[in-house]
Amino acid sequence: MINKRLELLRSQMQTRQIDAVIFPSNDPHQSEYVADYWKIRAYFSGFSGSAGTLVVSQKDAALWTDSRYFLQVESQCAGTDVQLHKQTVPHAPEHVAWICNSLKENAKLGIDFRLFSCSQVDFIKEHAASKNIALVDISALVNEVWQDRPSGGNAPIVDHSIDICGESRTSKIETIREELRNESANTYFVSSLDEIAWLFNIRSKDVDFTPLVTGYACIAEDSVVLFADAERIESTLLSELNQHGIEVQPYGDIISFLKQQSSDLTVLTDPTSLNYACFDAISGTVQYKPSLIQHLKSVKNSVEIENAKDGMRKDGIALTRFFIWLEDYLQTQSISEYDLGIKLESFRKEMPLYTGQSFGCIVGYKGNGAIIHYSAPQEGSATIQNEGVLLIDSGAQYENATTDITRTIWLGGTPTDELKRAYTLVLKGYIELERMQFPATVTGMQLDSFSRMHLWKHGLNFGHGTGHGIGAYSMVHEPGQGFASTGTTSRGTSTHKANQLTTIEPGFYKEGAFGIRTENIVVSKVVQKTEYGTFLGFEPITLCYIDTQLLDRSLLTSSEITWLNEYHKKVYTALSEELSVDEQKWLANKCAPTY
């Protein structure tokens, strides 16, 4: 089937005299998850992983991805022409040099201009220059070949009401306009889907795991245009949008709209989400500025924070019931990792306003817990029994909140000292960072080490960032503040502000043996203002017990024990009133004080 698709593609390429094409993983909005419509690379390669790039020429069908996916590619691409190229650095554009190298002088290289940022296009052009390789837009090509191509979304576009989001779209638009005046620009151009959703208080189901609407927007002093599928907008919402001065034009009209704008205009936009097709269409001056909306959106208003707390309370109830069920079930039976993920979702589905998972849940038993982006396969995932260690990282979309939580629990038998030590050091790192008080000028990179210091002292470490921002019924991974050990992402370089929601999730992974991660969401707040600065701190809003069976008590200070007991008291108090007497009893036991 894949080879047939490639054959059809190559014949179309020949007709158009295109020597090679590059298919990336993303959509025109640089989204983390993409609508089925944009899963072009998966369509032509058979490989369904989240990261990878396919390059197709008459001779080759070469797929680049990183080590997380090597086995998956081998299995999914078996029997096809697709050859795996192993990336050493995830997301590095190693394929560009490769294809420019293998093409002849004056060849034609096709890319969909909507799927590449300006800096990506510049990078390709640089490599293509020495051989005079021409870069051509193939945005029309895929439709010719992919006959049963899915739609970009067909669910209704609905109002994200003011009592849930806490701020009107007119107020948000006015803030953008103020910024436009400050910058002496005429138009603010938005292409990130989570920013569109936030700005207009609209939601839909266009993208996996994320309630977003495919669209663009242009905000000017006297007009606002939303480019989206008007037929899908609920009629009351549509008239409300119009009342608020927001004109809706077809999604596909964005390019011609941009081209028709006066060349005198200055268009302010965020270069990281702007695609090359839009850039190319803007007739005025493009003025780059880091996203205005990202900064506004990352600071939650009081309604959003209360909703987030409500979401975490519901997650806490669902997880408590799930863990009760699991403990009981494993006494007599076993279950696969994959099925356990489904079972977990069934408990969350019982909660009001649940609309789906916020990401593909990670259920990693024993050694599988050490695979950081593990996704249990439907067929042949590990069988969980009443012994050993289990890592579960999962999250929900509720109509009023997005959640994300990780717990590592012990299922039975006697844990090794090594496991207990690592589990305890991870918890110590969590507590260290959660209780830190720090100047508001401090970046995520300066805070990240606090979550690692206790592991470091034992010669241990973990290979991922310590936390990320989280959306309000939006993306589970919001760009902006967080904790990371490098300055290569915004999580390392951004400072924190009061009223942001951020995860703290240190871990430890021993290959082939076990994975540990403990993750809470915290809300940042101003703790103290002195002549030496404004000092921030965190308050956890996640409500779920932390398994004390894996603790090495000797490694904890009395102040850490106090933290643990107070946290457990808070969890029990918040959840118990919605639990049955038996459930309360079970949770009280899990939340019993540690001495």
In the complex, which residues of this chain contact a second copy (CB under 8 A)? Answer: 436-439, 442, 445-450, 453, 456-457, 459-461, 485, 487, 528-530, 532-533, 535
Task: Write the CB contacts of 577 (distance below 8 Å, at least 6 apart in sequence).
Answer: none
| Shortest distance (Å) from residue 429 CB to a second copy | 13
| Shortest distance (Å) from residue 536 CB to a second copy | 10
| Shortest distance (Å) from residue 288 CB to a second copy | 19
Q: Look up residue 536 and give its two tokens.
A: 């921030």
The whole-angstrom separation of Cα 152 and Cα 585 is 48
The amino acid that residue 509 corresponds to is: Y
Cβ nearer to a second copy, comparing 31 with 424: 424
Tally Cβ neighbours within 10 Å of residue 513.
16
Q: Look up residue 198 and give its two tokens.
A: 């936030």
Cβ nearer to a second copy, comparing 380 with 487: 487
- Whether 451 and 506 have beta carbons less than 8 Å apart is answered as yes
| Shortest distance (Å) from residue 532 CB to a second copy | 4
Q: Look up residue 110 and give its two tokens.
A: 């096709």
| Shortest distance (Å) from residue 439 CB to a second copy | 6
| Shortest distance (Å) from residue 426 CB to a second copy | 13
| Shortest distance (Å) from residue 93 CB to a second copy | 24
Residues in a beta bridge with 217? 190, 226
Cβ nearer to a second copy, comparing 230 with 561: 561
- Whether 112 and 137 have beta carbons less than 8 Å apart is answered as yes
- Whether 470 and 478 have beta carbons less than 8 Å apart is answered as yes
Q: Provide the CB-side half-sphere exposure for 269 (13 A, CA).
A: 28
Strands 108-111 and 20-23, how do they pair? parallel
| Shortest distance (Å) from residue 528 CB to a second copy | 4
Place of tokens 């696969």: 336
Residues in a beta bridge with 391? 364, 408
User: Which of left, alpha, beta for 581 (phi over 0: left; psi -120 to 50: alpha)?
Assistant: alpha
| Shortest distance (Å) from residue 486 CB to a second copy | 9
Cβ nearer to a second copy, comparing 379 with 511: 511
The whole-angstrom separation of Cα 430 and Cα 424 is 10
Strands 401-402 and 396-398, how do they pair? antiparallel
Cβ nearer to a second copy, comparing 119 with 461: 461
Cβ nearer to a second copy, comparing 532 with 595: 532
Cβ nearer to a second copy, comparing 9 with 433: 433
Can you state the angle between helices 169-182 and 193-200, rounded to 10 degrees? 120
| Shortest distance (Å) from residue 444 CB to a second copy | 11
| Shortest distance (Å) from residue 465 CB to a second copy | 13
- CA dist 262 → 173, 186, 251, 321, 488 (Å): 22, 10, 20, 59, 37
Cβ nearer to a second copy, comparing 211 with 537: 537
Cβ nearer to a second copy, comparing 91 with 458: 458
Cβ nearer to a second copy, comparing 205 with 452: 452
The whole-angstrom separation of Cα 549 and Cα 296 is 42
Can you state the angle between helices 558-576 and 581-590, rounded to 10 degrees? 170
User: Which of left, alpha, beta for 379 (phi over 0: left; psi -120 to 50: alpha)?
Assistant: beta
Cβ nearer to a second copy, comparing 529 with 569: 529
Q: Look up residue 508 and give its two tokens.
A: 């430890």
